[in-house]
């Protein structure tokens, strides 16, 4: 994913460079290139919009201890979510791609705090006192 993100950034930089260079030429020769410059700008914008990353939302639902966390961990190839008895992820959990791995806890007040992945067990215990 990081490799793809880098390639997209390269393409976006290239498109901006092409648009800028052609814009400079169009300024010097407006009679010849005004329409072409607008067309190129529109095309570049369309390409930039099409390269914006989109998130894929995949809800995973099921009964307690049905193996949802195990399924997600196996699919991702790393144990991001705690598993075991009692239910470990009895709180709504959302996984997203990010440049660096972290846990963001969003409290009922709307406050957001950042934690390391090593603190996931502690956060789960704090959020689910009835299960500990």
- Kindly report, residue by residue over 21-72, the tens digit of the pLDDT: 988 888 888 888 878 888 888 998 888 888 877 777 788 888 878 888 899 8
Please report, rounded to a whole number, the percentage of residues in the chain having pLDDT higher than 70: 88
Q: Structural domain boundaries of the chain? A: 2-51, 84-131
Residue 85, both tokens: 């008895």
The pLDDT, as a whole number, for residue 85 is: 60
- Pairwise CA distance, residues 103 & 116, whole Å: 6
Q: Where are the beta strands (DSSP E) in 7-130?
A: 103-106, 112-115
Cβ neighbour number for residue 118 with a 10 Å cutoff: 8
Better-predicted residue by pLDDT, 98 or 53: 98
**Cis before 40? omega within 30:** no
- Pairwise CA distance, residues 53 & 49, whole Å: 9
């Amino acid at each position: 994913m990081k490799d793809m993100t880098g390639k997209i950034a390269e393409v976006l930089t290239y498109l901006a460079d092409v648009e800028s260079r052609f814009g400079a030429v169009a300024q010097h020769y407006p009679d010849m290139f005004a329409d072409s410059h607008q067309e190129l700008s529109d095309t570049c914008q369309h390409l930039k919009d099409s390269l914006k990353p989109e998130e894929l939302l995949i809800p995973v639902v099921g009964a307690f201890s049905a193996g949802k966390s195990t399924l997600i961990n196996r699919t991702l190839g790393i144990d991001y979510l705690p598993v075991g008895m009692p239910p470990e992820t009895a709180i709504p959990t959302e996984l997203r791609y990010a440049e660096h791995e972290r846990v963001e806890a969003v409290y009922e007040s709307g406050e957001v705090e950042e934690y390391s992945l090593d603190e996931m067990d502690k956060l789960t215990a704090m959020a689910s006192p009835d299960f500990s």
